Each structure stands twice: as C-alpha cells, then as structure tokens.
Homo-oligomer: A and B are copies of this chain.
C-alpha cells in the first residue's frame, strides 16, 4: 500500500461522523446496511450521509451494492486488514540491535 492511499483511508475515518458510519458497518458484518437504515440510526441529513459515504467509497474502505431501490453498504474487511498491516509492517526495522523491542508485551508487529 502506498502512503497516499493509507492516508486517504485514515483521513476518511478521521471524522467522528464517518467513523460512526464505518463502525456501524463493521458491526453489521456481511449483511451490510442500507443507506436509509444508516441515515435513520445515525440521524444525519441524507445529503451529508451521501457525501460521507462517497468519501469512504473512494478511499476503498466500504462498497455498495444495489438491491432494487436501496443501496446496501458494506465495510470492506480486506481494506481494513491492509491498512492495519501498513501501519505496523515496518515496526522497529530501523531500531539499533541489542535494545529491547517496544513491541512487548503487546506486539503490534509479528516480528517483534
């Protein structure tokens, strides 16, 4: 993953409104949620919700599938996985030899 794409995804999650949207989709699992259901449960203006969904879609974090007149939104779990991996993948690689790893006792990278 390139830094620009990772930043785009992190920025997409960096506003409370969009983070709530995303977490609702994470909670929903593979069933996803309709735009209308999101709008009702989060209580934000339809145009605002649409705007935020677009941001999340462009970043690749979520996707939509049309079912008749409703649009089902789903979190893209692979994107989240890739993003987390990107954040921790180079953990400690520049660290001098012989020092204790920062990653213990709660390692964020598999090599530490």
Contacts and interface: CB of A to CB of B under 8 A. Distances in A.
A29 interface: yes
B29 A101 contact: yes
Number of copies: 2
A97 to B, nearest CB: 11
Given A80-B87, A80-B88, 16 more contacts: A6-B19, A7-B13, A10-B10, A11-B11, A14-B14, A23-B87, A26-B90, A26-B92, A28-B95, A29-B94, A29-B95, A30-B101, A31-B95, A31-B96, A81-B106, A84-B84
Interface of A: 3-4, 6-8, 10-16, 19-20, 23, 26-31, 74-75, 77-78, 80-81, 84, 87-88, 90-96, 99-103, 106, 108
